Each structure stands twice: as C-alpha cells, then as structure tokens.
C-alpha cells in the first residue's frame, strides 16, 4: 500500500503528500508502515482528474489547505469523527460534490473551504463546530439547505455569498457574530430570524436578498450597517428596542411600507431609506440630531414625517424626490439645507 502514497514524517506525525495510484475511490489509510496518519498535506490531491470518492478514517486530524482543491470529478467525501481542522480552500472548486456532513470534532472550517462547489446542495455542520471562516461556501450556487449547529459562535464575511438557491437556514442561539456580505445575493432566502446575542449587522450582510420578506431582529442588536439594501420584497420590520444606529441599511427596499424607529435611535446616516418608494410614514426619535443627505431621497409615497426633540438640521437632498411630503415640526430647526421640499413650522415650538 505504501507504494501508492507519498508521505513525510515531521515531529513524529505522518502526513500524506500525494496519491500515486489509479483508483477513483480512495480510502486514506489509518497508518503507513506502522506509523499513524495524522494529516492530509497541502495540495495532496489537488487537481486530481480521476478521484470520485474519498473516505477519511478516524485518527486523521487535519485536512490541510488545498488538499482536494480542483478535484472536478469528486462526488463524495466521508469524514470520520476525529477530524479537527479543514484548511483553507481544502475542497474549493470540487464541481461535482453534492453533499457534505461535517463531524462536530471540526472546530473551525477554513476560509474558502468549499468555495465554488457548484453542485453542492446540502451542508450539515454538527455540534462542536464554533467558527466558519470567510467565504467558506461562497458561490455555491446549487446550495439549498444548510444545517448549522447549536454552539456555532462566528460566521465570518461572505460565508454564503451568492448562494442564490439557499432557502433553508436556521441561525441558532449562541451565535455572536455575522460578518460582512455573509448572505449577499441569496435570492431564494425568504425569511431570517436573527438570534439574541448578535449586537450588530454589518456591511451588506443581507444585501440583494431579493425575495427576503420577513426579518426578525433581537433586542440585543444596537447597530444596523447597510445590511438590508436592495431587499425588494422586505415589507415590514420590527426594529429592536435598544437600537442606536442606522447606517444606510434599507436603501431600495421598495416594498417597505411601515417602520417605527425606537426612541433609543441616536443616528440615522444618509441614504438609509433612499429609494423606499412605498414608505408612507416615518418617525424621527427625539435623540436624533441630524437628517443627513439623501436619507429619504426617492421615497415617492412618503407623506408624513414626525420630527421630535433635539433635531437641529436637515441636510441637502435629505427628502429629494418626495413629492407628497408634509412635515410637522415639533421643534424649530436651527439649520435647514434642502431643496424643493415643503416644510411647516411649528411656531409654538
């Protein structure tokens, strides 16, 4: 058996470096010449043209970076419990791989590990995995279902970027961080429930999720940063009671009709509601000082804005192309910089 394997022993651990055989179904051995196999080395099977099935035995702990990258005929991978790490780009570009079931012994899935696995339809992660590195499933265009484990803590940037067929996804309690552009362009996603403990949704987290219509946000969220822009079917959102900052989060949510901003909000950045053409009413909490440029530009059905408290300035184009606007001031504005909008001053303020 050893003759078909290229290997090395380093620090008492044997690593498989290459496979020289002709079989299409390959089982990684538990040992070679009496020495236990611990690792599948960097690029060990990279760009194999024949490999269709791989079985990784117990005792192997590390599937290193690029191990099976570009194995375009690989259809099946069987992981035994005991694998601890899947390295970066380990299965990137395995075009025929359809399903993976990853044991809970894997603590961390490396960046781009399954990126561009274009036939991958289902991914199961089991309890014990705590972190998914960036771009792990990016461009998996056939991916429909992902089962995430209890205890998963971190999903890094672009993990499911442009997984355009992703439909079934449950985020479980214990999750503390969702990265930037994580679900960008997941067009089949219709509903998402963010678990309590998440404090912010960052840049473009759910951007261009064209069919996302229902979002449930926990009270733990304090910041929304550009997270739902171009979600054209999003019609209603209940914002968390402790929300502090809205930074460009709902641009071109064309179906958004109703939104109540909690009194905890202190900052609404420019463009935050630009292009929300069906938004009719909005309230500005009393701790908001400024309405920045283009915050509500293009909200063509916006007719009433309830201004309160400490508001001191409305910047140019904040309400550009809002032809139905009627603003009732509750406090005299110190500085107004705007064009072509009608304002009604409350002289008693």
What is the Cα–Cα distance from 89 to 64, expressed in whole angstroms? 9
pLDDT, the chain, mean: 91
- pLDDT confidence of residue 349: 33
What is the Cα–Cα distance from 60 to 37, expressed in whole angstroms? 6
Q: Tens of pLDDT along 271-295?
A: 999 999 999 999 999 999 999 999 9
Q: Which sign does the torsion angle of CA 96, 101, 102, 105 carry?
A: negative
Place of tokens 């009719």: 280
Q: Tens of pLDDT along 170-206?
A: 999 999 999 999 999 999 999 999 999 999 998 899 9
Cβ-based neighbours of 303, under 8 Å, separated by 6 or more: 280, 281, 324, 325, 326
What is the Cα–Cα distance from 280 to 325, expressed in whole angstroms? 9
Mean of pLDDT values over 325-330: 57
- pLDDT confidence of residue 328: 55
What is the Cα–Cα distance from 298 to 252, expressed in whole angstroms? 9
What is the Cα–Cα distance from 150 to 128, expressed in whole angstroms? 8
For residue 313, pLDDT beyond 70: yes
Q: Tens of pLDDT along 1-24?
A: 558 999 999 888 899 999 999 999
Alpha-carbon distance values, 297 to 24, 83, 237, 282, 309 (Å): 59, 53, 20, 13, 22
For residue 335, pLDDT beyond 60: no
| Rounded to 5°, angle at Cα 118 from 114 and 123 | 50
For residue 306, pLDDT beyond 90: no
The two three-digit tokens of residue 147, written as one number: 């089962």
Q: Tens of pLDDT along 49-91?
A: 999 999 998 899 999 999 999 999 999 999 999 999 999 999 9
The two three-digit tokens of residue 251, written as one number: 């641009």
- pLDDT confidence of residue 93: 98
Binned at pLDDT 50, 70 and 90, residue 124 comes out as very high
pTM: 0.91
- 5 vs 335, higher pLDDT: 5
């Amino acid at each position: 058996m050893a003759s078909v394997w290229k290997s090395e022993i380093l620090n008492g651990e044997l690593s498989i470096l290459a496979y020289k055989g002709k079989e299409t179904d390959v089982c990684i051995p538990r040992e070679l010449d009496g020495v236990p196999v611990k690792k599948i080395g960097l690029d060990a099977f990279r760009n194999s043209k024949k490999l269709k099935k791989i079985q990784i035995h117990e005792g192997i702990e590390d599937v290193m970076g690029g191990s099976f990258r570009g194995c375009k005929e690989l259809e099946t991978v069987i992981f035994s419990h005991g694998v601890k790490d899947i390295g970066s780009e380990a299965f990137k570009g395995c075009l025929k791989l359809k399903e993976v079931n990853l044991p809970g012994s894997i603590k961390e899935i490396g960046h781009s590990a399954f990126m561009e696995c274009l036939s991958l339809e289902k991914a199961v992660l089991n309890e014990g995995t705590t972190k998914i590195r960036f771009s792990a499933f990016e461009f998996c265009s056939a991916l429909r279902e992902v089962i995430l484990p209890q205890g998963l803590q971190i999903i890094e940037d672009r993990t499911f970027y442009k997984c355009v067929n992703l439909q079934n996804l449950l985020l479980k309690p214990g999750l503390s961080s969702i990265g930037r552009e994580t679900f960008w362009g997941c067009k089949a996603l219709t509903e998402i429930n963010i678990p309590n403990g998440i404090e912010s949704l960052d840049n473009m987290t759910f951007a261009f999720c064209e069919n996302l219509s229902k979002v449930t946000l926990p009270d733990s969220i304090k910041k929304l940063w550009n997270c739902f822009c171009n979600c054209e079917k999003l019609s209603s959102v209940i914002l968390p009671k402790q929300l502090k900052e809205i930074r460009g989060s709902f641009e071109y949510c064309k179906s958004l009709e109703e939104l109540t901003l909690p009194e905890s909000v202190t900052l609404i950045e420019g463009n935050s509601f630009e292009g929300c053409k069906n938004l009719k009413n909005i309230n500005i909490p009393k701790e908001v000082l400024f309405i920045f440029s283009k915050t509500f530009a293009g909200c063509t059905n916006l007719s009433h804005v309830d201004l309160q408290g400490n508001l001191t300035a409305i910047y140019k184009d904040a309400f550009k192309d809002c032809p139905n606007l009627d603003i009732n001031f509750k406090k005299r504005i110190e500085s107004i910089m705007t064009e072509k909008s009608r304002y009604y001053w409350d002289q008693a303020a």
